[in-house]
Amino acid sequence: MKPVTRIHSRTAVLPDENIDTDRIIPARFLTTTERAGLGKFCFNDWRYTQDGGNNPDFLLNKPEARGCSILVAGRNFGCGSSREHAPWALLDYGIQAVLCSEIADIFRGNALKNGLLAIVLEDAEHRWLLKNPGIELSIDVREQAIELPDGGRIRFTLEPFARHCLLNGVDQLGFLLQHSDAITHYETTHNKWQQEKAA
C-alpha cells in the first residue's frame, strides 16, 4: 500500500443514510477475478439512466462534484455485504476519503486496508459538512485533523494501527507474517481440534 498522509479536495455530498454496498457496486459486477477497473461500476444503478447515459439527478454527476475526492455521506455508509469491491470501486472512481457520522464495520476495515480514508465524525460536524457541499478540505492523517478554509479544524480519531499503516504504507500481511513463531506456538499449544481429529 502507498502511504496516505494528506488528502486535499473539495467535498461531494451524498446525504442519503444507509448507502449500502449493493448501491456502491451492484452484485452483478462481482463476477470479476480482478480488483482493478471497478470504478466504472461505482454507484452504477444510481449514476446511469436506463439508456446508459449519466443520470443528471445523481449528485456525483453534477459539474460541481467533478474531481472531488472527498465524499461526505449520510449516516451508516457501507452497510451490507463484506465485498471489498466497494472500496476498490470507490478508489478507482476517484474517491479517497469518506466522511460520515457512522460507517459500517466491515466496509470501514476494508476501506482503510486499501488506503481509502474512512473517517467517523461527531454528529454536529457531520451535519455541518452535509449542509456545506463543495467546501475545500485538507485531511491530515498524522494530525488526525481536517483543516477548513477558515483555518478551523475538525478532529477525528483513526484506529492507531490503521493510521500507522496509512502513514507508513505498512503492509498488514507482512506485519502478520512476522508473528509466524507465535502462531506456530499457539497451534502446538491450543490445537485441540487437531488432537481430536487424531484421536
Interacting residue ranges for another protein, rule: CB under 8 A: 15-18, 20, 22-23, 26-28, 30-35, 45, 74-76, 79-84, 87, 102, 104-106, 109-110, 113-114, 159-161, 164, 172-173, 175-177, 179-180, 182-183, 186-187, 190, 192-194, 196-197, 199
Give me the phi and psi of 31, to 5 degrees please. Answer: -80, 0
Q: Residue 68 or 103: which CB sits closer to another protein?
A: 103
* Nearest residue to 128 (alpha-carbon basis) of 157, 160, 152: 152
Is residue 106 within 8 Å of 82, Cβ to Cβ?
A: yes
Q: Residue 80 or 148: which CB sits closer to another protein?
A: 80
Q: In the bound complex, what is the minimum distance in angstroms from residue 155's beta carbon to another protein?
A: 18
* Nearest residue to 1 (alpha-carbon basis) of 139, 142, 167: 167
Q: CA-CA distance, 175 to 118, in Å (whole number)?
A: 21
Neighbours of 182 (CB within 10 A): 9
Q: In the bound complex, what is the minimum distance in angstroms from residue 3's beta carbon to another protein?
A: 17
Q: Residue 133 or 137: which CB sits closer to another protein?
A: 133
Q: Residue 44 or 138: which CB sits closer to another protein?
A: 44
Q: In the bound complex, what is the minimum distance in angstroms from residue 70's beta carbon to another protein?
A: 21
Matching residue, cell 499457539: 186
DSSP class of 57: T
